[in-house]
Structure 1
Amino acid sequence: MHSRPLLVLATFLLGLVALCCAACVGSSPTPLAPALRGSIGVPHHGVITDAVELPKQGAGYRLLRSGGARWGTAGLVAAVQRAAAEVARARPGGEPLLVGDLSARYGGAARGHRSHRTGRDADLLLYALTPDGRSVRSPGFVQFGPDGLARIGDGAADPASSRPGAPQYVRFDVEREWLLVKSLVRSPDAHVQWLFLARWLEALLIEYARALGEDPELIWYAESVLLQPSDSTAHADHLHLRVACTSDDFLSGCLGGGPHWPWLPAVPQLVAPSDGDLAAALLDDLLPGCAAASSRVAAPDGAL
């Protein structure tokens, strides 16, 4: 019996198994892959099981829309709740954080989004002020410019009253937005991978943090994860939070979809068997006794 045909067969079988596993990860758990659970796949191609629902309102936040995509991983939901509550405690009396879409109950394609499919994404609208500095509820997805102002319409009502007027503006609330970013970056639940935001708004936040004398390491964390995306809008109208796979997630089908920052939990390092051992194990399952015979032919008298 010759070893080469057996190894060729084993290589073919390994490729077939890998193809099947890739197909499972890209779709959903099946009886053939029961270990796939939680956040499965990458943010733009995947699903979620065991999702946690973000309540319609809580300390310091409200959902922008009452129905639809408000499901995520336990870590994502906890991080949003904690960050909103911390901002509310630090600056009481302000308007709540408006939270946009997370993911659908079981993930998958989400209307209006390329990602938001695996429960690891959340859209957080930006905190806003009137031009004279009063906290005002976010008027929605409005574009803030490099000067920190967003125009909300011609002749619209003053956002802090019912008085009609000339073209109205709101101002980017840099102070509360930095408190939100700070909480998310430091959160034990979030494991923030990205905070997508327009570069000019990031500049305002980082400048404010430096002027405040924040810890340089914290600022470095924030600068690392704050990013203007290159494949979508600049994100000048909301902050897009994306959390990383946890160590357990990696073992259950979660794929990275981005860098693994050094401060995130370590990725499990699985020790793979050698090609020869794996091929022998497969062949022994398929053709009992062949693997042992193959090893004797390939390495007589124990020689390598």
Structure 2
Amino acid sequence: MNRPVSLLLALPMTVMALSQASAAGWSDIKTPTKEAPRSIGRPNLGCLAGGVALPLDGVGYHVLRPQRNRFYGQPVLLKTITAVAEQMAKQGHGSILIGDMSQPRGGRMNFGHASHQTGLDVDLWLKMQTGPLSASDRAEPQAVSMVPVGARQADPTLWGPAQSDLVRIAAQQPAVVRIFANPAIKATLCQTFAPHGEASAPAWLRKVRPWKGHDEHIHLRLSCPPGNRDCVDQDPPPSGSGCGAELQAWFEPPVTPTLRIPVEPPPPAPTLPKACQAVLSQK
């Protein structure tokens, strides 16, 4: 079984279209709008009104690279992060390191992500902090890959109970609907938590979805908060644990596509929701 060729071919065009569709200037804005928090649009084509800043330090966590100004989100995202951090600290795993959330008003970032636009995404590093975090380590941290090149499992010398607990605790948070992780990490979780197949798989394992990269961090995505009418959720994950053929397809070489001349013109590039223009221009 291989990943659908149509998906593989569509990804570069989709990323390009989204880039062209996003309004310029989101990364230049330093402050959120003064209104109630509201997510608008999709994770990869939207914005954030009334963004709330996560304090740079809290019980069981530290925010990395604050100079990027990407530590804003919906209140439910902040609640989720702090809940995960507190549970990890109670289990003696040290502090978790918080990567990118969203910009003050969400929107497209000038580098690093196509998503994280609506205040409902966050990267949690898989490396734990067990001692004080220096200013230089906070500003220019060194990530650690948990997956050797070409491996089908996480590196057992780096991956341990702390990493497994981080994914499990994060996936058990009510608002989390997806966790993107390297396919080798997903395979390791399947081996650990579903050793006897589908019947033994916990419900939360379904939320962990394999995706390229994501060997140094996991990416949490939350559902749209109630009342956010302009927020668009991603389709739910497929049923089941995701430990079977779908996962194995990531380790197979892709099928060489047969090029065909398109018979229809490509669809127009998607555009940002109109409400995002007001968020962008608000003083």
Matched to 1:178, the amino acid is: S
In structure 2, what is the equivalent of residue 18 of structure 1? Answer: none
Change (3 A) 1:51 1:63: same
Query: Residues of 2 paired with 1:90 and 1:45: CA distance?
Result: 37
Question: Is the 8 Å Cα contact of residues 61 and 85 (structure 2) preserved in structure 1?
Answer: yes
**CA–CA distance in 2 between the matches of 1:128 and 1:36?**
33
Name the structure 2 match of 1:159: none
Q: Which whole-Å CA distance do the structure 1 matches of 2:37 and 2:56 have between them?
A: 25
Q: Which residue of 2 aligns with 1:226?
A: 208
User: Which residue of the other structure, out of 139, 161, 174, is the alignment partner of 2:160?
Assistant: 174
1:258 corresponds in structure 2 to: 235
Q: Secondary structure at the match of 1:181?
A: helix
Q: CA RMSD in A?
A: 3.3
Q: 1:241 to 1:43 in 2, by over 3 A?
A: same
Distance 2:42 2:181 in 1: 20
Shift of 1:136: 11
- Distance, in Å, in 1 between the alignment partners of 2:172 and 2:223 is 14
Q: What SS class does the counterpart of residue 192 from structure 2 fall into?
A: helix
**2:84 aligned with 1:83:** yes
Which residue type is aligned with residue 245 of structure 1? Answer: C
Residues 171 and 97 (structure 1 numbering): CA distance in 2 closer, same or farther, change over 3 Å? farther
SS of equivalent to 2:220: strand
1:240 alignment partner in structure 2: 219
Q: 2:172 aligns with which of 160, 180, 186?
A: 186
Seen in structure 2, the aligned counterparts of structure 1 residues 140 and 209 have a Cα distance that, compared at 3 Å, is farther
Query: Given the two structures, how large is their TM-score scaled by the length of structure 1?
Result: 0.55
Per-residue CA distance 1:165-197 (angstroms, 9 max, x = gap) = xxxxx9433312222222222224xx2121000
Unaligned runs of 5+ in 1: 1-25, 28-34, 150-169, 263-304
Q: Equivalents in 2 of 1:81, 1:192: separation in Å?
A: 13
The question of 1:198 aligning with 2:198 is answered no
**Contact kept in structure 2, 1:46 and 1:108, CA below 8 Å:** yes
Deviation at 1:74, TM superposition (A): 0.9
- 1:258-285 deviations in whole A, cap 9, x for unaligned? 32789xxxxxxxxxxxxxxxxxxxxxxx
Which position in structure 1 is the counterpart of 2:145? 143
Q: Which residue of 1 aligns with 2:245?
A: none
Matched, 1:74 2:51: no
Structure 1 position 240, deviation (Å): 0.5
CA distance in 1, matches of 2:169, 2:102: 22
**SS of the residue 2:166 aligns to:** helix
Residues 128, 136 of structure 1: 8 Å contact kept: no
Match of 2:191 in 1: 207
* 2:52 is the alignment partner of 1:52: yes
What runs of 5+ residues in structure 2 fail to find an aligned partner? 1-21, 24-34, 240-283
CA gap of 1:114–1:179, structure 2 versus 1, over 3 A, is same
| Contact map agreement 1:37 1:253 (CA 8 A) in 2 | no
Distance (whole Å) between structure 2 residues aligned to residue 55 and residue 178 of structure 1 = 26
Q: Distance in 2 between matches of 1:194 and 1:240?
A: 8
Q: What amino acid sits opposite 2:75 in the alignment?
A: A
Contact 2:48 2:105 in 1 (8 A): yes
- Please state how far the C-alpha of 1:63 moved relative to its aligned partner: 1.0
Q: How many residues are matched? A: 193
Look up the match of 2:96.
97
| CA radius of gyration, larger in | 1
